[in-house]
Every structure is written in structure tokens, then in C-alpha cells.
Chain A
Amino acid sequence: MLKNTRWANLLIQLAAVLMALLLTTLIMLAADAPPLEAYANIIKGSFGSLDRISKVLLSWIPLLLTTAGLLITFSTGLWNIGVEGQIVLGAIATTWVLRLFQDSAIAPGWIIFLSILAGMIGGAIWASLAGALKTFGGVNEIFGGLGLNFVATALTLWLIFGPWKRPGVGSMSGTQPFPEELWLPQIPDYDLSYWALGLAIASIVAVYFLLQGTYFGLRLKAVGKNFRAAHLLGIPTWQHMMAAFFLCGIFAGAAGAMQVTAVYHRLIPSISSGYGYLGLLVAMLVNYQAIWAAPVALFYAALNIGSIQLPIVLKMDSSLSGVLQGMLVLFVLMVEGIRQRYLRRT
């Protein structure tokens, strides 16, 4: 049985998922919460109606974009925890361009296009900052990135309460919403935009081919696997690390742009919605393989949307979804460790 490693791996992964579910269930029992009803509500709340499914897809878009970007930095051996701030900067740049041109004579379609482009550049610049701190300043990308995340949040708050505040007084509900012609076109009666969906799917496909099918992707992975060996083989290492940051920033910035043009239609204080950190979890769970990113991100988006119901129906905190999302990754990591330690070539 164990000789057939593909099936053995699948079985082991399945065991990890079951253990995560079991532990989450035990936690609910300990908190006097009804687990079966909670799971039923999450499923109903995510796939129960077309409206719900469209909301799941809407949340899938920024998550998938972020994960796509993170696959590039992870392949290069970089822990781009600053992705959260890169989403925020993407959103800020998008809002800035929308505000700049909203009263001009330019066609709305072009304004939206330019604003998304600006979002990508904004994210890429913020990522390059973390990259520069890492490559030229010797500051570990985790700490530089975390600091930049906080700075990005401060910048958002300052803009919302300062220069970009609503007529009257600034508030936590964000900036003045943009008029509907500056929204990405939506499917009638649903919040979902085909354009945003198309961008997200195209991105993950592009990243898959970049990492699997190009020489550039191969060199990125070489830098990630063995920095010194790559350097000795003549691969310009710091340039590849900077490139990985820059590319990841483009996708994170695009996620921020989607949050503005396709989801909130304004800048809000928590514009990133934690998709950066969630994207890190998704990337870890798929073991940095692009092929699995789309379905796993969809599952995580479904957990996010499904758990919104919990406080209303069961008076349960919606952070339950976060517990399950984290437990899954934790058990997959641990089970992988057990497999390597105890089941190797038995």
C-alpha cells in the first residue's frame, strides 16, 4: 500500500484534514456550541443559493490573486508576510486614480483600467520596499514586511480621516463611495464581476506557467532551494529576489484594486480583509504548488463567507472559520513531518 506513494500521500493528507475537523469539533463541544449545526450553517451560508455562491466567488478573487503572488515569493524562498500591506497599497493607489479622474471627461472604462494598473504598481512598489530592505539593508523580509503592514494601515487611516474624508466628517465606514459607472461591471442582480473573476483565474494560470514552464521560473526556484549554489552557478540572486517581490506585489496590488473596484467601491480601514495572511495559509496548505491553489482558495473563501451566518443564527463567533483554516494547515504540516520521520521508505 505504502509503495503506491501517490495514494499513500493522499490518504495521509486526508487524515490531516479529518484530524483538523475533529479538533475543531472538540473545541466547539468544549465551548458548548453545536458542531453539526455550525457546519451545516457554514455550508448553507456559502453554497446555499446563487447569491451566496456569487459572494463566495467574490471573496475568492482577491484571495486567489494574493495566493498567486505568494507562490512566486515562496518559490524564491521568501516569506513575504508584507503581502497584507501590498494589498492595502494597491487599494490606495486604485482609489487615488479613481478620485483623480472621476470628474474628468475620460471614459469610465479607461479610468477603471488605469486605476487597476495603478493598484498593481502600488502593490509592486510596496513589495519592492520590503525587497530592498531585505537585499540591501539585511532586514529579514518578515520583520520589514510586518512593519510596512502597520505603516500601510496607518496610511489608510490617515487618508480616510484626513485628505480623503467624506464631506462633513471622516468615519470608520471609509471614503465616499464611487458612482456606479466607476464600478467594475457586475452580473445583473449579483455583486460578482466577470472581469474580476477573469483576472483572478488568468493570474493563477499565468503563475502556474511562469513557475512550471519558464527558465525564469526555474531560476527563481533555484534561488529559493539553495541560495549559495544558485549564486555560484551564476544566477544573479539579489536581482531574482527583487523580481519575485516585485511580481508578488503586482498580484497583491491587483487584489487591492479588486477590493476597491469590485467589492467595496471605496477605501475602508480594513480594505485588505486579512486576505494577505489567509493567502499565506493557502499557499502553505497547497505546499506551494500552483495547481491546487484555485480549489483550496475557493474552499477557504467559502469558509469565510459561510461563517458570516454563525453569529446571527447560532450566536457563535465567526472566527470559527479562522480556527478551522489554521488547524488544517497545522495538521497538514505536522502530518507531513510525521510521514518524513516515521514512514520514510519503510
Chain B
Amino acid sequence: MTTDTLIIGLAGVLASAAPVLFAVLGETISERAGVINLSMNGTILLAAMGGFAVSVSTGSLFWGFITGMIIGGLVALVLAFSSITLKQSQVAVGFVLTMVCRDLSYFLGNPYMGLTGPRLSSWSIPVLKDIPIFGALLFRQDYLTYISYLGIIIVWVWIYKTRPGLILQGIGERPASAFVRGANVNRLRYIYTVLGGALIGLAGVTYSLSVKYGWKGTISGLDGIGWIALSITIFGGWDPIRAAFGCYLFSLLQWLGLVLQPALPNIPSQVLQVAPFPLMILTLLFVNIGNAEWVERTLAAIPEPSRKAISRLLRALRASPPAALGVPFESE
């Protein structure tokens, strides 16, 4: 493999990570606010189908993207209403929505199967594109990939460096304290859930208008991506930078699966495509195992020098969810 093909391959990894990133960032802000959006797998499909259908009918990419984001926001709104206002289990409603949206996308998308319409093209950034190696890697992509870079930074700055971001952390960690300090917890949860849903919708429509162009019903290859994004959100420990790292790692693994295919003729391609999942379970295990109580007890039994090293490693990997994740808030 020459350096050029390697760079093109890696640039492809960055581009195909963009939709996963949108979904993960969306889920991250939603969960930061205390709401698990489990509808992601279905929302991505429905937004992909809806955005594609609108872009084919209107001939406009712009309206395609807007539609995808509106669909994502609306599904999240149903979830927010059911869980925040009606106090039903977020997991239950989210799971039902994921099933409904998936089947709805197959049902309504039937007439649009295999059609073609406008497609997002790439646009190299002047000057930056000529930087050796990095130019070809980072700056000869399409708009959405650039937006995905920006998205990581914006969400990170928002959560950690702004006042509203501080309140966002508060309503997910200690909603009662945030409320006492004047935050309208439930209204903010509504806003962040819908905003996160719109980002998840953007993820879907990024697939159908760019990364995996078109709508092919059950063989669109999008079923399952939402579940992956959900795992990456946890792997990312609700931190945008770490989440981005997870997205790129996942995208890289999938690409490696394709590249290594010729070297491993005995393994069917379908198996390599799911290769990231066992790794995902393992990483989840490493991320979470520090939270299990028996680990503390076992660690206490280990002699001093190695105990320090192990517990430091576990603490570095460890990620704890927002304390009020999934818990409804009542102001009285």
C-alpha cells in the first residue's frame, strides 16, 4: 500500500466518522441533560429516509438536511414529552420509538428505493488543502465533515467553558441544586433533548445524502449504527473529545476490516464488519469495571506499589454517567 492510498483511506475514515460523530454528540448533550435517547437507531433510519425523500422530490440538498434534522427533533420531542411530562420510563419509550421509526422508514421509504437525486460533493478548503499530508487528509472533504470537526469543538466549549454549559452539567448531575439556582430543569431538558435529536437526525441524513448515498430499504446498511453510537457515547464518557476519539477508532476499525479482507479469505466479510462490537464490549468493560464494588475490595488486597498503578489506570479509563441520567425531576 502506497502512502497516497493510505492517506485517501484515512481521509475516508474521517468522512465516514462524521455521521457517527453527529449522533454521538447529539446523544451526549441529551444524556448530559439527563435524558437517554434510546430511539437513536430508528431515528437515524427515519431521518435518512425522510431527508433523502425530500431532497429527491425538491431537488434541494438543503431541504433534505433540514427535513432530517426536523425528523430527529420531532422524535426526540415525543420522547421528551413521554418521559419528562408524562414520567414514563425513558428506556421503554426510547426503545419503542426505535422500533416504530425503523419500520416507519421502511414503510414510507418504499417508493423512494433506489432513486437518485442531488448529492453532496466535496469542497477543498483553499490554502489549507495544500498542506502536505494533512491537506489531503483533513481539508479535501465535504461540508459535513468540516462541520463534524467544528461540532466536536463547539460542544466541548459549550459544556466546559460557558455558563449555559455549566447549567447543562448541573441539570444532569444535581437537578435539584440547579433548580434552586434558578434553572428551569424540565424546560432545559426539553431543549437539549430536541437539540440532541436534531443532531441525531443530521447523522441519518448525512448517511443518505453523502456517506452511504441513497435509500435501499432494509439493505441500506444503517440498521445497527444507532446502537453503535450509543455504545460510543458511553465509551466517550459523556465527553465530546473522548467521544470523537471513539468515533474515529470505530470508523478506523471498520475500514481495517475492509482492507484486511483479502488477507483473510476464510472469514466472510459480514464477520469483519461486526468485528468492532466485541472490542466495544471489552472497552465498555474497561470503562465501567472501575465502578463495580468488588474491584475496590480486590484492589485492597493487592500489595501497595502495583495497587496504585492499577487503580490509577482504572481511574483514567473510568467514566461515570451523569448522576441524574434517566431520573425524572419534580420541582416540589
Contacts and interface: CB of A to CB of B under 8 A. Distances in A.
A322 B103 contact: yes
Contact of B281 (A148, A334, A340): A148
Contacts of A341: 85-87
Contacts of B5: none
Contact of B107 (A31, A139, A334): A31
Contacts of B89: 333
Contacts of A142: 38, 91
Given A139-B281, A340-B87, A325 B268 contact: no
Contacts, number: 145
A317 B88 contact: no
A45 B285 CA distance: 46
A263 B332 CA distance: 55
Nearest to B110: A317
Contacts of A8: none
B154 to A, nearest CB: 27
A338 interface: yes
Interface stretch (A94-102, A153-161, A193-201, A202-210): A153-161
Contacts of B284: 133, 137, 139, 143-144, 147
A158 B100 CA distance: 30
A162 B266 contact: yes
B234 interface: yes
Interface string B228-268: 00110010000000000000000000000000000000111
A330 interface: yes
Given A148-B281, A317-B110, A154 B86 contact: no
Interface residues of A, number: 49
A337 B87 contact: yes
Nearest to A331: B96
A58 to B, nearest CB: 22
Given A316-B110, A341-B85, A157 B99 contact: no
Contact of A336 (B88, B281, B294): B88
Interface in B288-313: 288-292, 294
B95 A81 contact: yes
A154 B288 contact: no
B156 interface: no
Given A133-B285, A138-B292, A320-B107, A281 B86 contact: no
Contacts of A215: none
Contact of A143 (B99, B230, B292): B230
Given A144-B284, A162-B266, A333-B88, A137 B289 contact: yes
Contacts of A81: 95
Contacts of B131: none
Contacts of A170: 268
B191 interface: no
A137 B285 contact: yes
B281 A337 contact: no
Interface string B76-97: 0010011001111101110111
Contact of B106 (A137, A147, A319): A319
A31 B106 CA distance: 12
A139 B230 CA distance: 13
Greatest chain B CB density within 10 A among A154, A161, A170 is at A154
B224 interface: yes
Given A157-B268, A319-B103, A320-B107, A330 B86 contact: no
B102 interface: yes
A31 B112 CA distance: 12
Interface in B47-103: 78, 81-82, 85-89, 91-93, 95-97, 99-100, 102-103
Contact of A150 (B93, B224, B294): B224
A86 to B, nearest CB: 15
Chain B's interface: helix, strand, loop or mixed, by majority? Answer: helix
Contact of B231 (A147, A153, A161, A327): A147
B301 to A, nearest CB: 16
A320 B107 CA distance: 6
Contact of A284 (B92, B108, B285): B92
Contact of B100 (A133, A148, A323): A323
A334 B87 contact: no
Contact of B93 (A27, A30, A330): A330
A329 B96 contact: yes
Given A142-B91, A333-B96, A158 B271 contact: yes
Nearest to B318: A138
A325 to B, nearest CB: 7
Interface stretch (B19-27, B177-185, B272-280): B272-280
Contacts of B280: 147
Contacts of A140: 234, 288
Contacts of A153: 274
A326 interface: yes
A154 B270 contact: yes
Contacts of A31: 107-108, 110-111
Contacts of B104: 27, 319, 323
Contacts of A158: 267-268, 271
A187 interface: no
B160 interface: no
A338 B96 CA distance: 17
Interface in A133-179: 133, 136-140, 142-144, 146-148, 150-151, 153-154, 157-158, 161-162, 170
25 contacts: A27-B108, A31-B107, A31-B108, A136-B292, A137-B285, A140-B234, A143-B284, A146-B230, A147-B231, A147-B277, A147-B284, A148-B281, A150-B277, A154-B271, A170-B268, A281-B96, A284-B92, A316-B107, A317-B217, A322-B102, A325-B99, A325-B103, A326-B97, A330-B97, A337-B85
